[in-house]
Amino acid sequence: MSEMHTSIATTTILDLLAKEMEQEAVTTRKMLERIPDDKFDWRPHLRSMDIRTLATHIANLPSWVGMTLSTSELDFAQNPYRPKVVNTTAEVLAYFEEMLEDARKYLAEGSDEQLDESWTLREGDTIYLTSTKYDVLRMTMSQIIHHRAQLGVFLRLLDIPIPGSYGPSADEPGM
């Protein structure tokens, strides 16, 4: 058998998720670093999040890896969401790196056997989601990508050049 086949055969699902998280982190960093310090309170619409809230949420999302792998649920009634306050691009990037390091640790120390375990998102008696831990981790990755794209729209509306994500962008065609 080829080396390529052998390495794929011994790769765990958590290894694959860790690789994907690292790849997405490159693009996430590029997007977060574009936020001007004077635009953290800007929002495109009254019902939209401001950039501070959106960027903080993006930076926080990798922490869901550890929470998912180390718990069986998140109950907002017992643990209300209290986002970290960031005021500068440097602060949001540092927060993202801190949460990413936490995710790396849990992905490296976890086992694929955990992925079939059930995990619930609730607020008291109201259950929003019950799914496998694997599905929650996939949702976490999707949320990072989704909210990062949302931030891209915000930045575009501010006429800030958008970096390429999976290839060149209109602002960086030669990437």
Write out the DSSP string of 7-55.
HHHT--HHHHHHHHHHHHHHHHHHHHTT--GGGTT--SSTTSPPHHHHH
pLDDT exceeds cutoff 80 at 14: yes
Please give the pLDDT value at position 163. Answer: 94
Please give the pLDDT value at position 8. Answer: 61
Share of the chain above pLDDT 70, in %: 94
Please give the pLDDT value at position 5. Answer: 47
- Residue spans per domain, the chain: 18-157
Please give the pLDDT value at position 2. Answer: 46
Is residue 46 very low, low, confident or very high in pLDDT (cuts 50, 70, 90)?
very high
Q: Which CATH architecture has domain 18-157?
A: Up-down Bundle (1.20)
Share of the chain above pLDDT 90, in %: 90
pLDDT exceeds cutoff 80 at 7: no
For the residues 93-100, what does the mean pLDDT come to? Answer: 98
pTM of the model: 0.92
What are the structure tokens assigned to 52, written together?
């501070």
Measured between its terminal Cα atoms, the distance across the chain in Å is 36
What are the structure tokens assigned to 69, written together?
């792998």
Please give the pLDDT value at position 61. Answer: 98
